């Protein structure tokens, strides 16, 4: 790969790449993101490539393994170019048909198309599918067009033109002004104006300044950053380079979770390729600007997503946060000015520099500009990653894009903001996503996790779950968080086990107040939010657990029992065979009874009982009916008499 | 270093630039309770007991005084209903680990903290960090350190270093507000042998 | 793991104290655990007190100071998986293997860990064994999956 030393050489390179690409040439793109990989996209890719070779089409058809398309529920996903027809849930056996029909004969394969569940209509083009139609995929959209392991693919779609513009036609102060004007706010959860942070570092004194990518995406249920890094790593690198130039930094760090091996691998490839072209290193594009990036892997600690803890981890120490009275933008890594921003924040920078702050501020709301990527997961029909303009309502995201709640269940709450956030009930679904709206309702937008919950979710258990998570992840340095969470977890666990007491809610509220006021870092100060928001909107559930020892959602193991209704049981033996604890007593034509002593409440019987019988029930807050007599258990004749 | 004028509990205090609110208060004889603070060690900010209310212009907030730097015209209140409530809870959360600690009990008296509010915990350590920090920063031996995180965090001696250094030192013992340090040392002793000079002299 | 190999890894990271975590990750990945001798060697070569190494090695979940089993079972306890019933899957796996998260069985066959979000939320509940993702797990299926690792 030649070293590119100037703007004109870059343009020549880009034109050269484009000249070698025929947009009309058949190309099969295949999503190779982690989720699709887990459903077998690797095998699908191999079988398609083998089939193409078998049919002698290797020169005529390209295969491109791209980044995540976002519609993870329906993977593996294929898009045929240039037609743009889109196929879902592909298996290796489909390869011959795909290659023959879709590429050679140019026919659409009906059975692999997306079917709209409301209209039963089959949709051919990705952009017309409701999941995609209502999104605005400015940052994430390129994932589907490029092979993340190819810098040339990135260049072909205009990559590194932002860097070129910044280095050759803008002064650092101009870049700073543009980012300030755009009102780009941090996408990692804090929502702090990036331009202000950059300016603080630029003006701070220090020999060395650092720019850092926070890729320690720890919120469980959120994987936007993972998919961006796996699918379009260069967009993040380019943003980082522009930021470094604006601030006056020559060294960048990418702190990425070691639990994301594909992201680590693709980043390493991207950095190496950028170095080969000379986009990293000395005298970039002949501008005189030097910049190097190193990747630092995390070692499994959620608290390291907190910026001061991350910086302490970069120094090779245990990731304990530091007092925030002096901003890390002024005194960060080794007490040097350090600008830390989230992956998605950095990925927005090239767009803003290329298209201008005025363009960016047209999107979104007054205080929240641009788009946000959310991971829409949980009890939702269309699970996946969605990018929408700020200001879209939760209702539109969950129903128009997400397709609502599956299996005919009723919506209960949507949890946003990860462990620092809270639950939003049905009557508030018209809230707009953005930095400030959700906070007023007791939650926050956070890094973008959006977990949908239905009538089967116990909200007390949700609070316990998050407090359990935070107790495990707390660094343990300060009392309000370490000791406060210790006690909160005990109380919440007791409540879910039917050991709750009068006064528990008041004590939890007191512990919450101290943690909010006096904790060392944002993990501690926001830790009580899951409890506070669930008790605000679902207090009746807490009271049922404490006063009646009943779990309204029929979820908390200690408070429920599984019971087979003798009137409905047809003695089919399915549950008896599947029960992992051998707790179902019965036989063919002998009505089944669950031995409550042996039952481990795993719920298997409930899942496997044929829906036409629906004989297995969950009971809570009342005793299990006594078993019927042995004679009554025998089913006589072909059908049951009542 | 320039002089900075602050007001603590209504009293005018002349502080120096770079001083923390705690240092400024102490210099003027105003007491703020602390547990993890020691004048020979870098401020830790772990116990949060020294939390105070500060006002800059119209804006009031609560900050931890051992790490908060003085600012011009800062108004500080070392006691208030909210501050006292926070300190009471911090003490109650500590007391369930070390209900017999004289230092904690004195403070408990002052703030009305109930040592039986929470169920007793197995570990005495209140994680003030004095022993770990003293050994690292003053003695520079690093014989005792922290392990793990969150509610599983504990102090732990390195037996090989302790066997060489601790017998003749034990300066950290008087710093510990509870019996945790001594307990940890007794545990460590069972893993190592006494240095040859002491072995003949006495047997414990 | 012998000292030469440890020295090689340290040199690859410029023998800087700040590379401590990266060095430990490399050793953990190759050796599957961190023996005390390795920690002592790192302390000497990086000039870092053993207390700091001990803290780092116990603070971060990726490290193990005891040998692990042949097959590492990771059960995702992320919110999306939790909401889809991950706890029931964990309970069943605990019963079948006889170990709790963080433990290894006596034959050194299985080690069990919970992890917070593997990023495959569409497939929840997710169980990962030796890096292979098993999605849409139900308690009744776990026995069969584990048997395939005999």
CB A139 within 8 A of CB A348: yes
Q: Closest Cα to residue A618, out of A558, A556, A566, A554?
A: A554
Residues A318, A320, A326, A328: is their CA dihedral positive or negative?
positive
Looking at the structure, do residues A249 and A167 belong to the same domain, yes or no? yes
As a whole number of angstroms, the longest Cα–Cα distance in chain A is 92
Least confident of A360-364, A386-390, A549-553, A628-632: A628-632
Least confident of A123-137, A241-255, B178-192: B178-192
Q: Are the Cβ atoms of C116 and A469 closer than 8 angstroms?
A: yes
Inter-chain Cβ pairs, chain A and chain C, closer than 8 A: 155
Q: What is the mean pLDDT of residues C34-52?
A: 95
Q: Which chains touch A (3 or more CB pairs under 8 A)?
A: B, C
Strand, coil or helix: what is A217? coil
Model confidence over A404-440: pLDDT tens digits? Answer: 999 999 999 999 999 999 999 999 999 999 999 999 9
Residue ending a domain, among A416, A433, A454, is A454
CB C129 within 8 A of CB C105: no
Q: Is residue A11 part of a domain?
A: no
**Which residues in chain B touch residue A474, judged by CB atoms under 8 angstroms apart?**
149-151
Model confidence over A439-488: pLDDT tens digits? Answer: 999 999 999 999 999 999 999 999 999 999 999 999 999 999 999 999 99
CB A551 within 8 A of CB A560: yes
Question: For residue A126, is it left (φ>0), alpha (ψ between -120 and 50) or beta?
Answer: alpha
For residue C36, what are the contacts with CB-CB under 8 A and spacing of at least 6?
A: C65
Q: What is the mean pLDDT of residues A122-129?
A: 91
pLDDT at residue B200, as a whole number? 47
Q: What is the mean pLDDT of residues C54-67?
A: 95
The C-alpha of C107 sits at a distance from chain A's nearest C-alpha, in angstroms, of: 23
DSSP code, position A452: E
Q: Is B66 on the interface with A (CB under 8 A)?
A: no
| Tokens at A366, concatenated | 């007054």
One-letter-per-residue 3-state SS of A475-517: CCCCHHHHHHHHHHHHHHHHHHCCCCCCCHHHHHHHHHHHHHH
Q: Are the Cβ atoms of B158 and C50 closer than 8 angstroms?
A: yes
Q: What is the mean pLDDT of residues A64-72?
A: 91
Looking at the structure, do residues A26 and A114 belong to the same domain, yes or no? yes
Query: Could you tell me which chain A residue has the CA closest to the CA of B85?
Result: A514
| Tokens at B58, concatenated | 């119209």
Q: Over 80: is that where the pLDDT of B198 sits?
A: no
The C-alpha of C55 sits at a distance from chain B's nearest C-alpha, in angstroms, of: 5
Q: Are the Cβ atoms of B143 and C51 closer than 8 angstroms?
A: yes
The C-alpha of B146 sits at a distance from chain C's nearest C-alpha, in angstroms, of: 6
Cross-chain CB nearest to A300 (options C55, C60, C139): C60
pLDDT at residue C124, as a whole number? 81
Determine which of C44, C58, C60, C63 to mutate to test the interface with B (most B C-beta atoms within 10 Å): C58
Using CA atoms, how far residue A63 sits from A87, A232, A268, B56, in Å, is 15, 18, 23, 62
- Grade residue B203 by pLDDT with cuts at 50, 70 and 90: very low
Distance CA A310, CA A457 (A): 34
Q: Over 80: is that where the pLDDT of A18 sits?
A: yes
Looking at the structure, do residues A259 and A293 belong to the same domain, yes or no? yes
Q: Is C52 on the interface with B (CB under 8 A)?
A: yes
Domain that includes residue A385, residue range: 371-454
pLDDT at residue A639, as a whole number? 52
Q: Are the Cβ atoms of B63 and A484 closer than 8 angstroms?
A: no
Q: Over 80: is that where the pLDDT of C58 sits?
A: yes
Residue ending a domain, among A72, A95, A129, is A129
Using CA atoms, how far residue B36 sits from A168, A482, B39, B41, in Å, is 53, 15, 10, 10
Q: Are the Cβ atoms of C140 and A602 closer than 8 angstroms?
A: yes
CB B188 within 8 A of CB B131: no
Looking at the structure, do residues A433 and A477 belong to the same domain, yes or no? no
Q: Is residue A8 part of a domain?
A: no
Determine which of C49, C64, C65 to mutate to test the interface with B (most B C-beta atoms within 10 Å): C49
- Grade residue B193 by pLDDT with cuts at 50, 70 and 90: low
Residue A521 φ then ψ, to 5°:
-140, 180
Q: What is the mean pLDDT of residues C35-60?
A: 96
Looking at the structure, do residues A228 and A346 belong to the same domain, yes or no? yes
Model confidence over A215-262: pLDDT tens digits? Answer: 999 999 899 999 999 999 999 999 999 999 999 999 999 999 998 889
Q: Is C61 on the interface with B (CB under 8 A)?
A: no
Cross-chain CB nearest to B151 (options A301, A303, A482): A482
The CATH code of the domain that includes A218 is 3.40.50.11540
The CATH code of the domain that includes A394 is 3.10.20.600
Looking at the structure, do residues A336 and A408 belong to the same domain, yes or no? no
For residue B14, what are the contacts with CB-CB under 8 A and spacing of at least 6?
A: B3, B4, B5
Q: Which chains touch B (3 or more CB pairs under 8 A)?
A: A, C
pLDDT at residue B35, as a whole number? 96
Q: Is residue A9 part of a domain?
A: no
Cross-chain CB nearest to A472 (options B67, B86, B150): B150
Report the domain count for chain A: 5
Cross-chain CB nearest to C79 (options A72, A221, A300): A221
Q: Using alpha carbons only, how large is chain A's radius of gyration in Å? A: 28
Strand partners of residue A86: A79
Distance CA A135, CA A127 (A): 9
User: How far from each other are the two terminal CA atoms of chain B, in whole angstroms?
Assistant: 53
Q: Over 50: is that where the pLDDT of B97 sits?
A: yes
Distance CA B64, CA B60 (A): 13
The C-alpha of C96 sits at a distance from chain B's nearest C-alpha, in angstroms, of: 27
Q: Is residue A136 part of a domain?
A: no
Q: Is residue A145 part of a domain?
A: no
Looking at the structure, do residues A502 and A531 belong to the same domain, yes or no? yes
Distance CA C39, CA B200 (A): 33
The reply to whether omega before A76 is within 30° of 0 (cis) is: yes
Cross-chain CB nearest to B148 (options C49, C50, C59): C59
- Grade residue B204 by pLDDT with cuts at 50, 70 and 90: very low
Looking at the structure, do residues A238 and A301 belong to the same domain, yes or no? yes
Distance CA C38, CA A460 (A): 45
Strand partners of residue A115: A122
CB C62 within 8 A of CB A261: no
Which structural domains are found in chain C, ordered by start? 3-59 (no CATH), 71-147 (3.40.30.10)
The C-alpha of C57 sits at a distance from chain B's nearest C-alpha, in angstroms, of: 8
Q: What is the mean pLDDT of chain A?
A: 94
pLDDT at residue B18, as a whole number? 93
The C-alpha of A536 sits at a distance from chain B's nearest C-alpha, in angstroms, of: 22
Q: Is residue A41 part of a domain?
A: yes
pLDDT at residue A301, as a whole number? 95
Distance CA C73, CA B175 (A): 44
One-letter-per-residue 3-state SS of chain B: CCEEEEEECCEEEEEECCCEHHHHHHHCCCCCCCCCCCCCCCCCCCCCCCEEEEEECCEEEEEECCCCECCCCCEEECCCHHHHHHHHHHHHHHHCCCCCCHHHHHHHHHHCCCCCCCCCCCCCCCCCCHHHHHHHHHCCCCCEEEECCHHHCEEEECHHHHHHHCCCCCHHHHHCCCCHHHHHHHHHHCCCCCCHHHHCCCCC
Q: Closest Cα to residue A315, out of A335, A339, A333?
A: A333
pTM above 0.90, yes or no: yes
Model confidence over A155-167: pLDDT tens digits? Answer: 999 999 999 999 9
Residue ending a domain, among A400, A423, A454, is A454
- Grade residue B201 by pLDDT with cuts at 50, 70 and 90: very low
Q: Is residue A12 part of a domain?
A: no
Q: Is A491 on the interface with B (CB under 8 A)?
A: no
Looking at the structure, do residues A536 and A483 belong to the same domain, yes or no? yes
Cross-chain CB nearest to A603 (options C82, C124, C139): C139
Query: Could you tell me which chain C residue has the CA closest to the CA of B143?
Result: C51
CB-neighbour burial class of residue A19 (10 A; exposed 0-12, middle 13-18, buried 19+)? exposed
Cross-chain CB nearest to C58 (options B142, B144, B147): B147
Q: What is the DSSP string of A391-431?
A: T-BHHIIIIIIT---GGGPPEEEEEESGGGSEEEEGGGTTP
Residue A233: alpha-carbon gap to chain centroid = 17
Percent of chain B with pLDDT over 90: 82
Q: In A228-335, at which residue ranges do the beta strands (DSSP E only) sit? A: 251-256, 292-297
pLDDT at residue A641, as a whole number? 46
Using DSSP bridges, classify how beta strands B51-56 and C132-134 pair: parallel, antiparallel or unpaired: unpaired
CB B5 within 8 A of CB B14: yes
Distance CA A92, CA A19 (A): 33
Looking at the structure, do residues A417 and A469 belong to the same domain, yes or no? no
Residues B66, B68, B73, B77: is their CA dihedral positive or negative?
negative
Model confidence over B28-59: pLDDT tens digits? Answer: 999 999 999 999 999 999 999 999 999 988 88
Q: Is A511 on the interface with B (CB under 8 A)?
A: yes
The CATH code of the domain that includes A529 is 1.20.1440.230
Q: Over 70: is that where the pLDDT of A116 sits?
A: yes
Q: Over 70: is that where the pLDDT of A383 sits?
A: yes
Distance CA A564, CA A553 (A): 18
Query: Could you tell me which chain B residue has the CA closest to the CA of C43?
Result: B142
Cross-chain CB nearest to C117 (options A223, A297, A383): A223
Q: Closest Cα to residue A210, out of A247, A245, A241, A251?
A: A251
Strand, coil or helix: what is A472? helix
Q: Which chains touch C (3 or more CB pairs under 8 A)?
A: A, B
Using CA atoms, how far residue B153 sits from A203, A312, B42, B146, in Å, is 39, 18, 21, 7
pLDDT at residue A118, as a whole number? 79
Query: Could you tell me which chain A residue has the CA closest to the CA of C76?
Result: A220
Determine which of B89, B153, B156 to mutate to test the interface with A (most A C-beta atoms within 10 Å): B89
Q: Over 90: is that where the pLDDT of A581 sits?
A: no
CB B131 within 8 A of CB B177: no
Cross-chain CB nearest to A325 (options B68, B119, B151): B68
Q: What is the mean pLDDT of residues A19-34?
A: 90
pLDDT at residue B202, as a whole number? 46
pLDDT at residue C121, as a whole number? 78
- Map tokens 């609560």 to a residue: B62
Looking at the structure, do residues A25 and A170 belong to the same domain, yes or no? no
pLDDT at residue B102, as a whole number? 95
Q: Over 80: is that where the pLDDT of A289 sits?
A: yes
Determine which of B84, B88, B118, B149 to mutate to test the interface with A (most A C-beta atoms within 10 Å): B149
**Which residues in chain C touch residue B149, judged by CB atoms under 8 angstroms apart?**
58-59
Looking at this predicted complex, what is its ipTM?
0.94
Question: For residue A6, is it left (φ>0), alpha (ψ between -120 and 50) or beta?
Answer: beta
- Grade residue B191 by pLDDT with cuts at 50, 70 and 90: confident
Percent of chain A with pLDDT over 90: 85
DSSP code, position A620: E
Q: Is B86 on the interface with A (CB under 8 A)?
A: yes
Q: Is residue A5 part of a domain?
A: no
Looking at the structure, do residues A401 and A355 belong to the same domain, yes or no? no
**Which residues in chain B touch residue C52, judged by CB atoms under 8 angstroms apart?**
142, 145
pLDDT at residue A642, as a whole number? 43
Q: Are the Cβ atoms of A35 and C78 closer than 8 angstroms?
A: no
The CATH code of the domain that includes A627 is 3.30.70.20
Q: Are the Cβ atoms of B145 and C55 closer than 8 angstroms?
A: yes
Distance CA A67, CA A36 (A): 10
Residue A355: alpha-carbon gap to chain centroid = 27
Q: Are the Cβ atoms of B148 and C49 closer than 8 angstroms?
A: no
The CATH code of the domain that includes A104 is 3.40.30.10
pLDDT at residue A259, as a whole number? 87
């Amino acid at each position: 790969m030649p070293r590119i030393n100037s703007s004109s050489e870059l343009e020549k390179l880009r034109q050269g790449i484009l000249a070698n690409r025929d947009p009309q040439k058949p190309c099969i793109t295949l999503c190779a993101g982690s989720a699709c990989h887990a459903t077998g996209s690797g095998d699908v890719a191999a079988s398609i490539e083998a089939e193409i070779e078998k049919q002698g089409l290797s020169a005529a058809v390209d295969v491109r393994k791209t980044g995540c398309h976002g519609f993870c529920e329906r993977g593996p996903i294929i898009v045929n170019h240039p037609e743009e027809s889109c196929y879902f849930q592909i298996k290796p056996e489909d390869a011959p048909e795909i290659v023959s029909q879709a590429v050679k004969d140019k026919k659409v394969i009906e059975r692999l198309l997306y079917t709209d569940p409301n209209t039963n209509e089959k949709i051919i083009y990705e952009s017309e599918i409701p999941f995609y139609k209502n999104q605005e995929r400015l940052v994430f959209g390129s994932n589907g067009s490029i092979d993340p392991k190819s810098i040339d693919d990135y260049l072909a779609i205009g990559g590194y033109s932002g860097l070129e513009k910044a280095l050759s036609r803008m002064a650092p102060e101009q870049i700073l002004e543009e980012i300030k004007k755009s009102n780009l706010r941090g996408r990692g959860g804090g929502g702090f104006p990036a331009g202000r942070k950059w300016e603080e570092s630029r003006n701070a004194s220090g020999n060395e300044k650092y720019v850092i990518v926070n890729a320690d995406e720890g919120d469980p249920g959120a994987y936007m950053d993972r998919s961006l890094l796996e699918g379009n790593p260069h967009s993040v690198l380019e943003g980082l380079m522009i930021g470094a130039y604006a601030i006056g930094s020559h060294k960048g760090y990418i702190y990425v979770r070691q639990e994301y091996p594909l992201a680590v691998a693709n980043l390493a490839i991207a950095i190496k390729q950028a170095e080969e072209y000379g986009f990293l290193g000395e005298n970039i594009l002949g501008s005189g600007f030097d910049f190097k990036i190193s990747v630092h892997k995390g070692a499994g600690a959620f608290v390291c997503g907190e910026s001061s803890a991350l910086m302490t981890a970069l120094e090779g120490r245990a990731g304990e946060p530091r007092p925030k009275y002096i901003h890390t933008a002024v005194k960060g890594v080794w007490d040097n000015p350090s600008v830390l921003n989230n992956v998605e924040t950095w990925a927005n920078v090239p767009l803003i520099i290329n298209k201008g702050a005025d363009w960016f501020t047209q999107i979104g709301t007054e205080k929240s500009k641009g788009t946000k990527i959310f991971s829409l997961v949980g009890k939702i029909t269309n699970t996946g990653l969605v990018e929408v303009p700020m200001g879209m309502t939760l209702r539109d995201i969950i129903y128009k894009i997400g397709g609502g709640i599956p299996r005919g269940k009723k919506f209960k709450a949507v949890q946003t903001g990860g462990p620092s956030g809270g639950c939003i009930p049905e009557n508030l679904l018209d809230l707009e996503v953005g930095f400030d709206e959700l906070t007023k309702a007791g939650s926050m937008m956070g890094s973008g996790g959006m977990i949908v919950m239905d009538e089967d979710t116990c909200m007390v258990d949700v609070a316990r779950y998050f407090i359990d998570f935070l107790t495990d992840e707390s660094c343990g340095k300060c009392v309000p968080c370490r000791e406060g969470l210790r006690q909160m977890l005990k109380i919440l666990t007791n409540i879910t086990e039917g050991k709750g007491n009068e006064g528990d809610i008041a004590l939890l509220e007191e512990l919450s107040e101290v943690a909010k006021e006096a904790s060392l870092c944002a993990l501690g100060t926001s830790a009580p939010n899951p409890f506070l928001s669930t008790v605000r909107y679902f207090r009746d559930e807490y009271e049922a657990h404490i006063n009646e020892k009943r779990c309204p959602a029929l979820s908390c193991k200690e408070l429920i029992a599984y019971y087979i209704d003798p009137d409905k049981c047809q003695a089919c033996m399915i549950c008896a065979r599947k029960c992992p604890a051998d707790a179902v007593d019965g036989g063919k034509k002998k009505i089944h009874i669950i031995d409550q002593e042996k039952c481990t409440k795993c719920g298997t019987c409930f899942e496997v009982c044929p829906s036409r019988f629906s004989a297995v029930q969950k009971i809570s807050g009342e005793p299990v009916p006594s078993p019927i007599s042995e004679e009554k258990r025998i089913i006589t004749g072909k059908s049951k008499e009542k | 270093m320039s002089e900075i004028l602050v007001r603590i509990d209504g009293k005018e205090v002349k502080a120096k630039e770079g001083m923390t609110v705690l240092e400024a208060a102490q210099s003027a004889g105003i007491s703020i309770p602390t547990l993890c603070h020691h004048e020979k060690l870098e401020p830790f900010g772990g116990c949060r007991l020294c939390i105070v209310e500060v006002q800059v212009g119209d804006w009031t907030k609560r900050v931890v005084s051992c790490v908060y730097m003085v600012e011009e015209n800062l108004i500080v209140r070392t006691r208030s209903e909210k501050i006292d409530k926070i300190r009471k809870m911090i003490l109650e959360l500590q007391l369930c680990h070390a209900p017999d600690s004289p230092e904690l009990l004195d403070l408990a008296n002052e703030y009305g903290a109930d040592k039986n509010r929470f169920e007793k915990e197995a570990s005495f350590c209140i994680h003030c960090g004095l022993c770990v920090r003293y050994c690292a920063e003053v003695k520079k031996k690093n014989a005792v350190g922290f392990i793990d995180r969150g509610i599983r965090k504990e102090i732990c001696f390195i037996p090989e270093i302790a066997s060489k250094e601790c017998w003749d030192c034990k300066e950290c013992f008087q710093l510990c507000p509870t019996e945790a340090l001594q307990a940890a040392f007794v545990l460590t002793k069972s893993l190592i042998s006494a240095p040859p000079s002491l072995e003949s002299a006495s047997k414990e | 793991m012998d000292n030469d190999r440890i020295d090689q890894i340290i040199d690859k990271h410029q023998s800087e104290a700040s590379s401590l975590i990266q060095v430990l990750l490399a050793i953990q990945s190759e050796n599957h655990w961190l023996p005390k001798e390795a920690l002592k060697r790192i302390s000497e070569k990086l000039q870092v007190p053993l207390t700091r190494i001990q803290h780092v090695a116990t603070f971060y979940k990726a490290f193990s100071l005891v040998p692990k089993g042949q097959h590492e079972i990771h059960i995702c306890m992320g919110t999306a998986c939790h909401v889809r019933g991950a706890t029931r899957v964990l309970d069943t796996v605990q019963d079948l293997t006889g170990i709790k998260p963080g433990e290894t069985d006596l034959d050194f066959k299985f080690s069990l860990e919970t992890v917070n979000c593997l990023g495959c939320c569409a497939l929840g509940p997710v169980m990962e064994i030796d890096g292979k993702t098993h999605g849409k797990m139900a308690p009744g299926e776990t026995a069969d999956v584990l048997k395939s690792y005999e």
